[in-house]
A and B are shown apart, each in its own frame.
Chain A
Amino acid sequence: MTSDHTAASSDHAVDIDRHVKVYITVFVALMVLTIVTVAISYLHLAVPLAVTVALFVATVKGTLVAAYFMHLVSEKKLIYAVLALTVVFFAALLALPVVTHLDGYWIHE
């Protein structure tokens, strides 16, 4: 519905009302998750575990922002296609550090 850009009408206002409820819910969730991730950091977990948890929480928060604030839940196929392509190449980029450390590639001082 979000890409239906005609001038605001009364039934649009109803749809927007529903959306606003979602925005508030997401806002609360984001606040909670922020507190959670900071609180967990005080536990000083072992690095691999800490990284996994922190990234997991960040991913959840990021997904909420992308899905609801950026309206990705109701976007068009073309946008999904562009983003899917981007994700693939982003993964290739993140493979860079992996690739550098294979085969003893990196020489530690």
Chain B
Amino acid sequence: MDIPYTVEVRRDTGLTNGKIGIWLFLASEVMLFGALFASYILIRVGAPSWPRGDTLLDVPLATFNTIVLISSSVTMVMAWASLMRGRFGTFRIYMGGTILLGLTFLVVKYFEYSHHLHLGEFPSTNNFLAIYYTLTGLHMLHVFGGMMVNAYFWGPGAKLWKTNPVWFTNRVEHSGLFWHFVDLVWIFLFPTLYLL
């Protein structure tokens, strides 16, 4: 049985089901990270003292990671644009780039975390570290999740391009929206934790 508006848009809304679905999901994610940001503000303002981010965290490394993530957002949108132009090969390259950049981000974070843990800086050490690990940890899980979906569309899921190219393009677009959102969260996380 076919569900309508999976591929073609519904005339009065101008949208496909998937587009609405992914934005609704992103709305819930805004509330999720929003709650964590609100908690961060509450704890920080109530604390007698709070370390400036660069005194505990590695700013140059995180700046590099920020550049990596932003670049991956560009490759992601270029991957979708390639599909819109009908260029599957180019899509593969850009999507592959997105996944590699995401992997780079995760690897850098792995080194960051190991370094802190090696120095005895655990989540339990103080509230700054607690919220740092929690916020970046949850963000990292989202990066990982997004990468899994992207890898699926790069690999086994790419079969769909042959049978239903429009649906495939839409799904890549939706995956891209999630990926951009993950980048967007980092754009706020980075200055909040590292620079302030």
**A residues touching B (Cβ–Cβ < 8 Å)?**
3-8, 12-13, 16, 19-20, 23-24, 26-27, 30-31, 34, 37-38, 41, 44, 47, 50-51, 54-55, 57-58, 61-62, 65-66, 69-70, 76, 78-79, 82-83, 85-86, 89-90, 93-94, 96-97, 100-101, 106, 108-109
Instruction: List residues of chain A with CB within 8 A of the CB of B191.
Output: 37, 41, 54-55, 57-58
By secondary structure, the B interface counts as helix
CB closest chain-B residue, reference A87: B30
Beyond A13-B85, A58-B187, A70-B180, is A90–B195 a contact (Cβ under 8 Å)? no
29 A–B contacts from the bound complex (CB under 8 Å)? A7-B86, A7-B166, A23-B77, A23-B81, A26-B74, A30-B70, A51-B196, A54-B196, A58-B187, A62-B184, A62-B188, A65-B183, A65-B187, A69-B73, A69-B76, A69-B176, A76-B13, A78-B20, A82-B23, A82-B24, A82-B27, A83-B23, A86-B31, A93-B34, A93-B38, A94-B41, A100-B46, A106-B45, A108-B48
Once the chains bind, are B38 and A8 in contact (CB under 8 Å)? no
Tell me the minimal C-beta distance from B27 to chain A in angstroms: 4
Known: A31-B70, A83-B23, A106-B45. 20 other contacts (CB 8 A): A5-B9, A5-B169, A8-B84, A19-B81, A27-B70, A34-B63, A50-B195, A51-B196, A62-B188, A65-B73, A65-B184, A66-B180, A76-B13, A78-B13, A79-B15, A82-B23, A94-B34, A94-B37, A97-B38, A109-B48
Q: In the complex, A89 Cα to B35 Cα: how many Å?
A: 11
B8: Cβ under 8 A from any A Cβ: yes
Contact of A38 among B180, B181, B195 (CB under 8 A): B195
Total CB contacts across the A-B interface at under 8 A:
150
Binding site for A on B (CB under 8 A): 7-9, 13-16, 19-20, 23-24, 27, 30-31, 34-35, 37-39, 41-42, 45-46, 48, 52-54, 59, 63, 66-67, 70-71, 73-74, 76-78, 81, 83-86, 165-166, 169-170, 176-177, 180-181, 183-184, 187-188, 190-192, 194-196
CB-contact partner of A8 in B24, B73, B85, under 8 A:
B85
A16:B81 contact, CB within 8 angstroms: yes
Q: Are B66 and A34 in contact (CB under 8 A)?
A: yes
> In the docked arrangement, what's the CA distance between A89 and B34, Å?
10
Quick check: B35 and A7 within 8 Å, CB to CB? no
Min distance, Cβ B187 to any Cβ of chain A, angstroms: 5
- Knowing A62-B184, A97-B41, the reply to whether A6 touches B34 (Cβ < 8 A) is no
Q: With A12-B85, A41-B191 given, is the CB distance from A90 to B30 under 8 Å?
A: yes
Contacts of A31 in B (CB 8 A): 67, 70
